[in-house]
């Protein structure tokens, strides 16, 4: 077998080899982790900074089946697994964070509609676009103290942070999509006796909707980022809150499973949006 340079654009890697190659980094990382963990545990059996598999399993068990420390809930002796799970730390935190996330998503709907108007209606564009361009440049996190003053430290300020952080990007993105719709479509619609709202909602919005969903998928990570920032600074429950608390006493055995859990949740949301998009819009060629 001749030597195949990795720097060959026209290369045709063997399929099995390519699959194996894509697993390589995962294996390396896990191997490196296990090696570091074993070394540290050799020096100090109770090391908590790099938990070994046993400790991680313990951490997962604690998150999934045990309530958060500050809860009053004491499980009755014969409680079922489901009941334990229902009162567990991870359930409570996921529910709290999830609620904030979903409410912020709802607030993004008017943002998208505003963008539709900015892109189509010249008066809306004139009135709003410049301001949105400016507001987009403001680092949302720096507004957090102001948000605490305006909304208090409860849910409202965290949701406001997410919306303020992500809405300008989405508005600008959707405005771009609207402007990219060929002018001929709009003219054609008017010749078919459509009024302004017909053109906006029945012609343009329907066309760009799959792109809107794709833009939302890209913005999931920033949304999560802002949610975490808000929760780490002032909260009494939530996924990032738990991580911040655990961090205070080096509870890496709980933090690492939480991090992976959040990654998994994000993957799920992204996947479902992708599938939904494909089902709803069979005509869309990305």
* Residues engaged in binding another protein (CB under 8 A): 44-49, 55, 58-59, 62, 69-70, 72, 144-145, 148-149, 152-153, 182-185, 187-195, 197-198, 201-203, 206-207, 209, 232-236, 241, 244-245, 247-251, 253-254, 281-285
User: In terms of CB distance, is 19 or 185 closer to another protein?
Assistant: 185
206/178 Cα distance (integer angstroms): 11
Least distance CB 246 / another protein (angstroms) = 9
User: Which among 212, 256, 16, 259 is positioned nearest to 116, based on CA atoms?
Assistant: 212
Longest dimension (CA), the chain: 80
Least distance CB 71 / another protein (angstroms) = 9
Least distance CB 52 / another protein (angstroms) = 11
Least distance CB 245 / another protein (angstroms) = 6
Provide DSSP, 83-118: HHHHTSHHHHHHHHHHHHHHHHHHHHHHHHHHHHHH
47/242 Cα distance (integer angstroms): 20
SS3 at position 153: coil
Which element (helix H / strand E) includes 145? helix 144-151
User: In terms of CB distance, is 198 or 270 closer to another protein?
Assistant: 198
User: In terms of CB distance, is 234 or 266 closer to another protein?
Assistant: 234
Cβ atoms 276, 213 nearer than 8 A: yes
Least distance CB 110 / another protein (angstroms) = 18
User: In terms of CB distance, is 62 or 132 closer to another protein?
Assistant: 62
User: In terms of CB distance, is 113 or 194 closer to another protein?
Assistant: 194
Tokens of 42: 């050799």
């Amino acid at each position: 077998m001749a030597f195949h340079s990795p720097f060959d654009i026209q290369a045709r890697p063997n399929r099995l080899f390519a699959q194996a190659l894509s697993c390589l980094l995962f294996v390396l990382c896990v191997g490196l982790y296990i090696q570091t963990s074993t070394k540290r545990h050799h020096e100090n059996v109770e090391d908590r900074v790099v938990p070994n598999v046993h400790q991680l399993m313990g951490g997962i068990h604690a998150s999934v089946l045990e309530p958060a420390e500050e809860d009053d809930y004491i499980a009755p002796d014969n409680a079922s697994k489901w009941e334990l799970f229902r009162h567990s730390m991870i359930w409570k935190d996921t529910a709290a964070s999830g609620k904030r996330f979903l409410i912020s998503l709802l607030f993004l709907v008017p943002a998208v509609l505003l963008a539709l108007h900015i892109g189509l209606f010249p008066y809306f564009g004139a009135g709003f676009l410049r301001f949105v361009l400016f507001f987009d440049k403001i680092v949302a996190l720096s507004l957090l103290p102001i948000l605490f003053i305006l909304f208090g430290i409860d849910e409202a300020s965290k949701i406001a942070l997410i919306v303020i952080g992500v809405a300008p990007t989405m508005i600008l993105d959707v405005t771009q999509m609207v402007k990219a719709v060929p002018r001929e479509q709009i003219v054609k619609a008017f010749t078919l006796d459509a009024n302004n709202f017909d053109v906006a909602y029945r012609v343009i919005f329907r066309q760009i909707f799959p792109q809107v969903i794709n833009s939302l998928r890209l913005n999931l990570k920033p949304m999560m980022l802002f949610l975490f920032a808000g929760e780490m600074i002032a909260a009494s429950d939530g996924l990032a809150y738990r991580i911040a608390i655990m961090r205070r006493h080096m509870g890496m055995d709980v933090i690492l499973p939480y991090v992976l859990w959040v990654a998994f949740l994000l993957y799920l949301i992204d996947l479902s949006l992708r599938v939904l998009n494909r089902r709803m819009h069979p005509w869309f060629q990305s």
